[in-house]
């Protein structure tokens, strides 16, 4: 099925040229999962175009795919200057009303000079829009509407809308599986980042009650939609089962997390969600040393970031947040008592961990697996 002159399609720009093939495969899979019919896919040098039945819906779906820098919605055109200019005028008349506009041409074809097309198309569009008080802008930044034209190998594409992707590597690009514990908002942020980096996560959720678990599962779902697989396992550990209200502060939970990583992690590579601004240096040193002593390799994806948003943690999670930098090292003795009582170093500790196999489903706000988990606990 082709409608070359007026075909509305989607352009996908991978974050890195080296992962283009991975992004293409995951993109096709993601669209098919959402019942999008793909008619044709054309690989260009820096992007690929997809002809499909629901381009607007598809573009929104692809914003949650790893490895995509941006998505553009465009019309295709024959690859000659007359056809390109005609299509620019057709699209411009549809979207530009009493606005300043700018035409930017990117050419991967040596037979076409970008500046020539920009000059001819801008002049022609000014003439067509003369009764609409529309005028060209001197640059892209000051324009109300920007039309981007991509001259490919055999087709050209006139884009009228652009959406940002989540970028990153393709899923599993680093080829390492890492164990991560979700217990506060910064740990969720770490999960998102390691997925974007190309790691494969093994996830354990620490929670207090069903309300706390529900909030974490909903927040988690918004992140794992980036993973291009339908089924995965979630491990859950209810902290109330440990009968220790002493842990009811975020800083003491940090110690529990480090001990689980050190003594019970099923993997060598573990993710520690600490940040040099939020957490004291002695706590960071302690966590690294304890993990290394027990044969674990700690990754800290957020360690040197200075723009973490931590002010709304307590609104999202029902924890009594205690800022780590205000924590006195002497309180560590309180945790040692807790650790001795719950037997963190014993194999019996892991018996409290439940494992669920879930099916992600489509991009729902509240997917079925969340209710299934809550009802089974």
Domain count, the chain: 2
| In a shared domain, residues 152 and 266 | no
On whether residue 156 sits in a domain, the answer given is yes
| In a shared domain, residues 181 and 327 | yes
- The number of beta carbons lying within 10 Å of the beta carbon of residue 109 is 17
On whether residue 3 sits in a domain, the answer given is no
| In a shared domain, residues 213 and 118 | no
Of 25, 72, 71, 66, nearest in space to 195 by CA: 66
On whether residue 172 sits in a domain, the answer given is no
On whether residue 42 sits in a domain, the answer given is yes
- The number of beta carbons lying within 10 Å of the beta carbon of residue 124 is 15
| In a shared domain, residues 145 and 283 | no
Instruction: Report residue 253 as tokens.
Output: 């939970």
Of 210, 209, 183, 211, nearest in space to 321 by CA: 183
| In a shared domain, residues 89 and 181 | no
Distance CA(272)–CA(288), nearest Å, equals 9
On whether residue 357 sits in a domain, the answer given is yes
Of 244, 238, 234, 286, nearest in space to 261 by CA: 286
Q: Is beta strand 231-238 parallel, antiparallel or unpaired with respect to 200-207?
A: parallel
Name the domain boundary from 164, 189, 217. 164
User: What is the model's pLDDT at position 331?
Assistant: 67
Distance CA(377)–CA(281), nearest Å, equals 38
Report CA-CA distances (Å) from 264 to 116, 217, 244, 249, 270: 64, 22, 19, 22, 11
Query: What is the residue whose two structure tokens read 């506060």?
Result: 184
Structural domain for 211, as ranges: 177-376
Of 54, 44, 9, 7, nearest in space to 24 by CA: 44
On whether residue 324 sits in a domain, the answer given is yes
Three-state secondary structure along the chain?
Answer: CCCCCCCEEEEEEECCHHHHHHHHHHHHHHHHHCCCCEEEEEECCCCEEEEECCHHHHHHHHCCCCCEEEEEEEEEEECCHHHHHHHHHHHHHHHCCCCEEEEEEEECCCCCCHHHHHHHHHHHHHHHCHHHCCEECCCCCCCCEEEEEEECCCEEEEEEEEEECCCCCCCCCCCCEEEEEECCHHHHHHHHHHHHHCCEEEEEEEECCHHHHHHHHHHHHHHHCCCCCCEEEEEEEEHHHHCCHHHCCHHHHHHHHHHHHHHHCCCCEEECCCCCCCCCHHHHHHHHHHHHHCCCEEECCCCCCCCCCCCCHHHHCCCCCCCHHHCCHHHHHHHHHHHHHHCCCCHHHHHHCEEEEEECCCCCCCCHHHHHHHHHC
| In a shared domain, residues 188 and 264 | yes
Q: How many CA atoms lie within 13 A of 141 on its CB side?
A: 0
| In a shared domain, residues 159 and 185 | no
What CATH code is carried by the domain that includes residue 119? Answer: 3.30.2130.30
| In a shared domain, residues 298 and 260 | yes
On whether residue 92 sits in a domain, the answer given is yes
The pLDDT tens digits along the chain (377 residues) read 344 345 789 999 999 988 999 999 999 988 998 899 999 999 999 999 999 999 999 999 999 889 999 999 999 999 999 999 999 999 999 999 889 999 999 987 777 788 899 999 999 999 998 877 889 999 999 999 999 999 998 899 999 999 999 899 988 888 899 999 999 888 999 999 999 999 999 999 999 888 989 999 988 888 888 888 878 899 999 887 665 555 556 667 888 899 999 999 999 999 999 988 888 888 899 999 999 999 999 999 999 887 665 444 445 554 444 455 555 666 677 778 778 777 888 888 888 899 998 877 654 556 778 878 888 87
Name the domain boundary from 164, 193, 228. 164
On whether residue 74 sits in a domain, the answer given is yes
| In a shared domain, residues 122 and 242 | no
User: What is the model's pLDDT at position 237?
Assistant: 92
Query: Do 142 and 100 form a contact (C-beta atoms < 8 A)?
Result: yes
| In a shared domain, residues 235 and 191 | yes
| In a shared domain, residues 75 and 189 | no
Distance CA(47)–CA(302), nearest Å, equals 30
Name the domain boundary from 164, 197, 230. 164
Q: What pTM was computed for the model?
A: 0.80
Three-state secondary structure along 296-318?
Answer: CEEECCCCCCCCCCCCCHHHHCC
| In a shared domain, residues 225 and 279 | yes
What CATH code is carried by the domain that includes residue 371? Answer: 3.40.50
């Amino acid at each position: 099925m082709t409608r070359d002159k007026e075909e509305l399609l989607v352009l996908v720009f991978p974050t890195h040229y080296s992962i283009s093939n991975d992004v293409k495969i995951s993109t096709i899979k993601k669209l098919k999962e959402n019942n999008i019919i793909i008619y044709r896919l054309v690989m260009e040098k820096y992007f690929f175009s997809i002809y499909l039945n629901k381009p607007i819906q598809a573009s929104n779906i692809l914003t949650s795919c790893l490895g995509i820098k941006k998505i553009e919605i465009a019309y295709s055109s024959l690859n000659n200057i007359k056809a390109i200019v005609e299509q620019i005028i057709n699209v411009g008349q549809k979207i530009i009303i009493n606005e300043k506009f700018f035409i930017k041409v990117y050419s991967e074809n040596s037979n076409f000079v970008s500046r020539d097309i920009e000059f001819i198309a801008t002049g022609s569009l000014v003439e067509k829009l003369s009764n609409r008080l529309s005028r060209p802008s001197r640059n892209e930044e000051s324009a109300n509407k920007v039309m981007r034209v991509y001259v490919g190998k055999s087709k050209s594409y006139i884009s009228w809308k652009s959406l940002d992707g989540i970028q990153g590597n393709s899923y599993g690009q680093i080829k390492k599986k890492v164990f991560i514990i979700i217990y506060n908002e910064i740990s969720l942020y770490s999960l998102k980042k390691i997925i974007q980096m190309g790691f494969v996560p093994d996830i354990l959720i620490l929670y207090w009650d069903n309300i706390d678990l529900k909030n974490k599962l909903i927040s988690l779902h918004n992140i794992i939609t980036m993973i291009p697989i339908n089924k995965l396992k979630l491990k859950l550990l209810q902290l109330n089962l440990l009968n220790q209200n002493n842990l009811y502060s975020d800083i003491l939970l940090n110690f529990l997390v480090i001990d689980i990583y050190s003594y019970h992690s099923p993997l060598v590579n573990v993710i520690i969600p600490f940040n040099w601004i939020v957490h004291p240096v002695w706590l960071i040193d302690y966590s690294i040393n304890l993990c290394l002593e027990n044969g674990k390799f700690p990754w800290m994806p957020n360690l040197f970031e200075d723009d973490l948003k931590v002010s709304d943690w307590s609104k999202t999670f029902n924890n009594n947040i205690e800022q780590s930098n205000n924590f006195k090292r002497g309180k560590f003795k309180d945790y040692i008592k807790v650790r001795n009582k719950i037997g963190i170093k014993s194999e019996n500790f892991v018996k409290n961990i439940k494992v669920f196999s879930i099916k992600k489903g489509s991009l729902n706000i509240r997917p079925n697996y969340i209710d299934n988990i809550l009802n089974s606990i």
